[in-house]
Each structure stands twice: as structure tokens, then as C-alpha cells.
């Protein structure tokens, strides 16, 4: 930003020809906002150049000053539909108009956005603007967008806007080559990071180079089973395992890897059994014909409960081991109509 940015606009020769336009809150505002003087003055000058539609270098600099004072200035698709006193909602939009008019270096604009993100990365207007710039620049900035989101996610691994932008960038600009490795890196750091599991699923189902869910299933099941056995109480990995069989119930109930990991967890005494039991319940309800090993593993946890229907018995145990969701498991039990 210019070194004279701390000088009031009214004292800068560059702005001597502009008559600032004050915000009109009406004759009797109920709760007038006590704006800081520098913000009030900046927005008064912005309203003036917005009204005159001045698309100049100084207008671009003014939008920067306004956004550094309040980067939450709303994006408006059709600002002409609003009266002029709402111009505080138009800064991002107007900045794009000026950028286009001046044919401004959009790589420099990326740097500007990054500087704003340092203080307020959860500002959704910023991400909308970032996408607009990246779309203009095209595939050449795929790496920059992935690096940018990586830097945000290194601070907040579940940052919604960063994940959304990253997925958009992969689809629109490319850069899939190392994304699975990146997901693994995040899960190595925190296997409970459900956002990283979600991104991993996004990659295997959307990447044009991996072939889709079925070709990736065997390796992904192996990867997930290892994660489950290391942390049986991690719901994310269990949900990911089931997602690997989306729209393929036959494979879901017949793949020995699924039953095997359930049985291994149920045989342990050092972990939470709830997710293994709920997976067994899903398998049974989807049509699995239980083996003696399934029955013995479940009955070993039953505390001599008299239930004979295996699915009912699983629900009964879940009510005990997962009391927070006891009502849900009781409801699931009430819906079981087939003897298993």
C-alpha cells in the first residue's frame, strides 16, 4: 500500500478534485454506527468514485485502502440494484471492474489477496475474489492455488473456505498429481482429521488420472483398514471404509476385508467397539449372512443377553456401549423386521 495511506484523503492533492459522498442513514437512524474516522472518510471517497464510475489507478488504490480497513465489504452481483449509500457493500465488486479496466497484473492481485488473508482468511468475499482472479489466470496458477490453500490449512486443517477453494482449483485448474500424497501427509499428522478423509475421497472419485472408485477400492480398503486397526475409535475412517462401497452393496457385504476388520476390533479389549458394532449392524441389515465367527464375536460382548436375533443383539449392545446415541440404536432395533 502507498506510504501516504496514513495521510487523510482530504489532505492528499491527488483527491482534491473529489467531493466525498457521506453515507445516508436517513433523517432519524435508530442505531447509528460509530465508524472510526479513517474508515468513514475512506468510504465517503469510495462512494464518490463509485457513483462516477471512475476506473483509474487511484480508484484501485482506494479500494485497497478500504479493504484493508474492512475486508468484509460484501460482494454484490448487481450493485446497481442498491442505493448509493450501500456502497460499503460494493468494494470487492468494484475492484474487479477496475482491475479489468486497467488490465492490472493479476499475479500482483494474488499477492494482495494473500496479504488480506493473513488477518482474515475466513472472509468469504475474499475467496470469491480469489476464485475470480484464478479463473482469469487459468491453469498456470494451479500450483499457486494449491500452495495458498496448503498454507491456510497448515494453520487450520479444517478451514472450510480453503478446502472448498482447493477442490474447485483441482477441478478447474488441475494439479491432481500429488493430492493423494497430500491427504496422506495430513492423516499422518492427524488421523482424526475428517476434512482430510473427505478430501481423500474427493480425490479418488474425481481425479481424472485414478480411474474412479472401483479401481482404487482395493488399495484404499487396505489403507483404511490399517488406519482403523491403529485407532478403532476414529469414526472418520469407518465412514470412509463404507463410502468406498457406495452404490455397490454386493461388494460391501461380500468383501472379507470389511468383516475381518470388524472381527479384529471386536476381539480386542483395549478399545471402543461402537463403530465396529455399527458396521456389523449395517452389514446385517444390508443382507450379510453371518458366520459363526460373527455370532461368537458379538455374543462375547453381550453380557448373557437373551436376544437371539443377531441384529437385535447388536443394537442392544450398542445402547450400552454408546449411551449418547442410545435412542438412535433403540430406533434402529425397532426397524429390524427380519430374523438374522
234-256: pLDDT as tens digits: 999 999 999 999 999 999 999 99
User: Taking the mean position of all CA atoms in its chain, how far away is CA 218?
Assistant: 27
Q: Examine the pLDDT at 279 and tell me if it is beyond 80.
A: yes
Check residue 75 and report its DSSP letter. Answer: P
pLDDT at 82: 43
Percent of the chain scored above 90 by pLDDT? 81
- For residue 299, the tally of other CB atoms under 10 A from its CB is 15
- Average pLDDT value over all residues in the chain: 91
Give the per-residue pLDDT at 67.
93
Given this model, what pLDDT does residue 24 score? 67
In this predicted structure, the answer to whether residue 169 has a pLDDT above a threshold of 70 is: yes
Instruction: Say if residue 262's pLDDT is above 90.
Output: yes
- Rounded to a whole number of angstroms, the distance between the first and last alpha carbons of the chain is 71
Span 67-103, pLDDT tens digits: 999 887 654 444 444 444 444 358 999 999 999 999 9
Q: What is the pLDDT of residue 158?
A: 95
pLDDT at 202 over 70: yes
The string of pLDDT tens digits covering residues 109-155 is 999 999 999 988 999 899 999 999 999 999 999 999 999 999 999 99
The dihedrals phi and psi of 149, each to the nearest 5 degrees, come to -70, -35
Dist CA 253 CA 212 (whole Å):
20
Q: What is the pLDDT of residue 75?
A: 41
Spell out the residues 6+ positions from residue 64 whose beta carbon is closer than 8 angstroms to its own.
Answer: 1, 95, 112
Question: Among residues 36, 89, 122, 335, which one is catalytic?
Answer: 122
Please give the distance of CA 172 from its chain centroid, rounded to a whole number: 17
Q: Which residues, 6 or more positions from 289, have their beta carbon under 8 angstroms from its beta carbon?
A: none
- DSSP 8-state class, residue 303: T
Mean pLDDT confidence for 155-171: 97
Give pLDDT, residue 218: 97
Q: What percent of the chain has pLDDT over 70?
A: 90
Give ∠ CA 207-213-216 in degrees, rounded to 5. 85
d(CA 106, CA 99): 8
User: Which of 41-45, 313-317, 336-340 has the least mean pLDDT?
Assistant: 336-340
Catalytic, 335? Answer no
pLDDT at residue 304, as a whole number: 75
Residue 4: per-residue pLDDT = 66
| Alpha helical stretches, state H, the chain | 37-51, 57-69, 91-102, 106-117, 124-137, 142-153, 160-173, 179-189, 194-206, 213-230, 235-243, 249-254, 256-266, 274-285, 292-299, 310-321, 326-334
Predicted confidence (pLDDT) at residue 338 exceeds the cutoff of 50 = yes
Question: Which of these, 175, 141, 145, 184, lies nearest to 163 by C-alpha position?
Answer: 145
CA 321 to centroid of chain Cα atoms? 31
Is 281:332 a contact under the CB 8 Å cutoff?
yes
| Segment 209-235, tens digit of pLDDT | 999 999 999 999 999 999 999 999 999
pLDDT of residue 84: 40
Instruction: State the Rg of the chain over Cα.
Output: 28
pLDDT band at 48 (very low <50, low <70, confident <90, very high): very high
Q: What are the boundaries of each domain within the chain?
A: 217-340
The beta-carbon contacts of 114-118 under 8 Å, at least 24 apart in sequence, are: 114/148, 116/67, 116/68, 116/71, 117/148, 117/152
Lowest mean pLDDT, pick from 82-86, 170-174, 270-274 = 82-86
Per-residue pLDDT, 88: 39
pLDDT of residue 242: 98
Amino acid at each position: 500500500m502507498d506510504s501516504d495511506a496514513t495521510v487523510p484523503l482530504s489532505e492528499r492533492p491527488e483527491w482534491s478534485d473529489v467531493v466525498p459522498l457521506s453515507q445516508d442513514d436517513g433523517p432519524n437512524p435508530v442505531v447509528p454506527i460509530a465508524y472510526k474516522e479513517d474508515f468513514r472518510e475512506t468510504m465517503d471517497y469510495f462512494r464518490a468514485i463509485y457513483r462516477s464510475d471512475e476506473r483509474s489507478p487511484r480508484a484501485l488504490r482506494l479500494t485497497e485502502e478500504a479493504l484493508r480497513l474492512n475486508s468484509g465489504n460484501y460482494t454484490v452481483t448487481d450493485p446497481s440494484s442498491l442505493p448509493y449509500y450501500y456502497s460499503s457493500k460494493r468494494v470487492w465488486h468494484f475492484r474487479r471492474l477496475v482491475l479489468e479496466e486497467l488490465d492490472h497484473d493479476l499475479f500482483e492481485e494474488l499477492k494482495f489477496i494473500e496479504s488480506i488473508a493473513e488477518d482474515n482468511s475466513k472472509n468469504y468475499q475474499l475467496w470469491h475474489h480469489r476464485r475470480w482472479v484464478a479463473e482469469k489466470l487459468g491453469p498456470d496458477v494451479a500450483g499457486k492455488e494449491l500452495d495458498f490453500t496448503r498454507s491456510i490449512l497448515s494453520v487450520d486443517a479444517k478451514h472450510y473456505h480453503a478446502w472448498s477453494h482447493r477442490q474447485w482449483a483441482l477441478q478447474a485448474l488441475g494439479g491432481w498429481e500429488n493430492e493423494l500424497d497430500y491427504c496422506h501427509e495430513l492423516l499422518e499428522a492427524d488421523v482424526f482429521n475428517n476434512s482430510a478423509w473427505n478430501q481423500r475421497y474427493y480425490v479418488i472419485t474425481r481425479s481424472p488420472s485414478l480411474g474412479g472408485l472401483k479401481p482404487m477400492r482395493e488399495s484404499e480398503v487396505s489403507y483404511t483398514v490399517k488406519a482403523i486397526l491403529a485407532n478403532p475409535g476414529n469414526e472418520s475412517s469407518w465412514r470412509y471404509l463404507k463410502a468406498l462401497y457406495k452404490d455397490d452393496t454386493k461388494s460391501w457385504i461380500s468383501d472379507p476385508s470389511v468383516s475381518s476388520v470388524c472381527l479384529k476390533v471386536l476381539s480386542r479389549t483395549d478399545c471402543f467397539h461402537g463403530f465396529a458394532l455399527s458396521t456389523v449392524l449395517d452389514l446385517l441389515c444390508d443382507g450379510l449372512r453371518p458366520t459363526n465367527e460373527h455370532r461368537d464375536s458379538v455374543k462375547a460382548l453381550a453380557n448373557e443377553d437373551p436376544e437371539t436375533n443377531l441384529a437385535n443383539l447388536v443394537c442392544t449392545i450398542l445402547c450400552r456401549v454408546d449411551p449418547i446415541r442410545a435412542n438412535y440404536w433403540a430406533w434402529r432395533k425397532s426397524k429390524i423386521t427380519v430374523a438374522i
